[in-house]
Amino acid sequence: MSAAEAARDIAAGRLAAEDYVRALLARIDEREPEVQAWAWLDAAHALREARQSDAWREDGLRVGPLAGVPVGVKDIIDVQGMPTEDGTVLHAGRIAQADAALVARLRAAGGWPIGKTVTTELATYAPGKTRNPHDARHTPGGSSSGSAAAVAAGMVPLAIGTQTNGSVIRPASFCGVVGYKPSFGAIGRSGVLSQSPPLDQVGVFARTVEDAALLAEALWGHDPRDAATRPLPAPPLSRVAASDPARPPRLGWARMPWWDRVAPDAQAAFGALLDRLGDLQGAIELPHAAADAIAWHRTVMEADIAGSFEAEYERGRAQLSDSLIGQVERGRRITAVDYRKALARVAPLNEAFAPLFERFDAILAPATLGTAPLAADGTGDPIACTLWTFCGMPTISLPLLVGANGLPLGVQLVAARGDDARLLRTARWLMRHIPAPGRS
């Protein structure tokens, strides 16, 4: 069942949260030895949380839209009393003393963190232990690897991740689930490992668009300790996502600057999708500056990584991966002038996209360069996400395609910054009209 269905049944007393969690724990026992999605999970604690949810409902207390639903939480997000080790031995044994702001919102909505999902090293590129649920020889992507894999393997209905480059959309595509990254500043980040404050964004994983909207709406809102958020009402994501558009949406697509790097089978699958959409899609020309966003993003991200992980580099360099050492050392050479110039490009680039979003409901693009590479080859290239992450635009990956090897391929939809509700409605429409592989 979907997370929304489970929450409704638990709230109505048709399903005990404890029974639901026992079923999920059985699934975890079955799949975890191969998938290895969890950095920390205590079955006894999970059952206690489920019994507490049942007790609150039986006492007539308000249970919230996520009543009794357990959620996987990426292991860079603090959950009180649980380890938060950030995918590095340098942080081993760290126990969070308080909930991150988004975890507090999760609890307020009736949901709760069942455990911590595996992340890559400090949420960068060096992989953790997780394997792709569809084929253990392949990567699940990074850095939210455990969150995507846990949802794909049916271990948990929902999970939370983060994205500084492509760390929600890429693993969602590789694992064949819905991955939604809201607009920059939508979900508070206090209590979350900081990598690059101008780029760090929280996202969610689910098996349906409706479930992704449900979780994101619960997490959405002002965080007094995060200056990127604002004290504004949360948009009605669930209501709008569940509605039908007044007319079929129009989708724009462009040959991205990196299109020649997309695998041939992924190009063919995406081309077939465009053919199926027919007149509902149209070619667009990206703003000229879009091609430069890759370099601007790298400047901002690597300069911030050098600052954010200075202590780890200075005190524990021998325990860091070569890839992270390289990022830190490149970041140290970036000047303040270059950093500020790159960051200043965000607003003008969003403005340059505005005319396109007046003509189209969303931009359609591949979520990745192809299916998941072999685990030995790393977590995959995030370049298909970089432009949109730099702009802070909302994006969603939908499991609509498969590659020649039978592994999932995500389709990415992108909307104007702040237009999250319409993006989710468009995504749901696309999922219904272009069924995912294996669905009629």
Q: What is the pLDDT of residues 96-152, one digit of tens each?
A: 999 999 999 999 999 999 999 999 999 999 999 999 999 999 999 999 999 999 999
**Would you give the end-to-end CA distance of the chain in angstroms?**
18
β-pairing, 395-402 with 281-283? unpaired
Residues above pLDDT 90, as percent of the chain = 97
Decide which of 234 and 391 is more confident: 391
Q: Is the pTM of this model over 0.85?
A: yes
The predicted structure's pLDDT at residue 138: 98
Looking at the structure of the chain, the number of domains it has is 1
The answer to whether residue 440 scores a pLDDT higher than 50 is: no
DSSP code, position 201: E
Within a domain: residue 369? Answer: no
Say how far apart CA 69 and CA 204 lie, in whole Å. Answer: 14
Say how far apart CA 212 and CA 217 lie, in whole Å. Answer: 8
> 4-37 b/e with 16+ CB inside 10 Å = b?
bbbbebbbeeebbbbebbeebbeebeebbeebbb
Catalytic choice (145, 167, 173, 238): 167
The predicted structure's pLDDT at residue 434: 85
The predicted structure's pLDDT at residue 435: 72
Within a domain: residue 285? Answer: no
Within a domain: residue 420? Answer: no
Catalytic choice (74, 173, 181, 196): 74
Tens of pLDDT, residues 305-340: 999 999 999 999 999 999 999 999 999 999 999 999
Within a domain: residue 351? Answer: no
308 is annotated as an active-site residue = no
Within a domain: residue 280? Answer: no
143 is annotated as an active-site residue = yes
Domain boundaries, position 75: 3-242
Catalytic choice (53, 143, 144, 147): 143
Q: What share of the chain is helix, strand, coil (3-state, %, to 5)?
A: 45, 15, 40
Q: What would the two tokens of residue 2 be? A: 């979907």
Within a domain: residue 236? Answer: yes
What is the rounded average pLDDT of the residues 265-287?
Answer: 96
Q: Using DSSP, how many helices (H) and how many strands (E) does the chain show?
A: 16, 11
Polymer length of the chain: 440
Amino acid at 132: N
Within a domain: residue 138? Answer: yes
Say how far apart CA 134 and CA 21 lie, in whole Å. Answer: 23
The answer to whether residue 439 scores a pLDDT higher than 60 is: no
116 is annotated as an active-site residue = no
Within a domain: residue 371? Answer: no
Tens of pLDDT, residues 221-249: 999 999 999 999 989 999 999 999 999 99
